[in-house]
Amino acid sequence: MSVKAKIAAAAATFALAGGGLGTAGTLSASAATRSCGSTCQDLYTQKFGTGDILDVKGGTAAAGQEVILFKASSSDPAEDFVITKLGSVGSSYGHHWGLITPQFDATFAALSAYEFQYEPSGVPSNLCLGTWPGELAQAGFKVRLEPCGRTRNVLWAFFGGQFAGDHITSGYDVLINGATDSISDPLVLNYPAGTPTDKPRPWLDVEPLHVYPDATVYNNQQWTYRNGPVK
């Protein structure tokens, strides 16, 4: 069975693996800048590791602003994000996230739902990591800042990045965008072709989940966060 099929079949029963975002509960880690303190986290991909973390290009807190990976720095407030756990997809669907579709809830109800709010230097912007607001996500949609809590585009459901038999084994997570209704090809947070040092900087997007023959998810689609400030 493919990983895509396993996500659909197992979402109601599998717990997320240790070490990844899905096990964080109440998250407490320091951010890129010391001024943001213990309320912020640094998100990074398995492909590039802790040296390149989530960053708002130019640091501009505005809807539609592009999100990239950039060299980790203790003096760059553009790298300050707060990860907020909203509960399960199912509870969010039933209570304060009426825009989640029945299709998404039916498949991913047991998964944890999160938002990533941009908080440069610890100041909330009320803007979160998302896709084009109010639109059904499509492969290749750019990931950008959009108003928190208004649409399913800023919700992300987490699932472990590797399977071994019936167990999830990776310390990284796949981030499924809340604006996708595809069960066979869920759209996930993706680092596109290129590297964080390229110019222009590659803009994060959402793409169908990609796996190797051994059921390991591509490393540019696996994410986790850093404990402790950048030094």
- The Cβ of residue 147 has, within 10 Å, a number of other Cβ atoms equal to 15
Q: Report the number of distinct structural domains present in the chain.
A: 1
| 32 belongs to a structural domain | yes
| 50 belongs to a structural domain | yes
- Model-level pTM? 0.84
| 207 belongs to a structural domain | yes
Those residues with Cβ within 8 angstroms of residue 199's Cβ, 6 or more apart along the chain or in another chain: none
What is the per-residue pLDDT across 169-191, written as a single tens digit (0 to 9) for each? 457 889 999 998 777 788 999 99
Which of 114, 205, 103, 220 minimizes the C-alpha distance to 159?
A: 114
Which CATH number belongs to the domain containing residue 89 in this structure?
Answer: 2.80.10.50
**Cα torsion angle, 98, 103, 104, 106, sign:** positive
| 26 belongs to a structural domain | yes
Domain extent at residue 21: 3-225
Q: Could you tell me if 72 and 155 are in contact, meaning their C-beta atoms sit under 8 angstroms apart?
A: no
pLDDT at 166 > cutoff 90: no
When pLDDT is cut at 50, 70 and 90, the band that residue 34 belongs to is low
What is the per-residue pLDDT across 195-229, written as a single tens digit (0 to 9) for each? 999 999 999 999 999 988 887 889 999 998 875 55
List the structure tokens of 202.
Answer: 């590659």
Give the whole-number percent of the chain exceeding pLDDT 70. 74
List the structure tokens of 50.
Answer: 């802790």
What residues are paired with 129 via a beta bridge?
A: 145
pLDDT score, position 10:
44
| 101 belongs to a structural domain | yes
| 181 belongs to a structural domain | yes
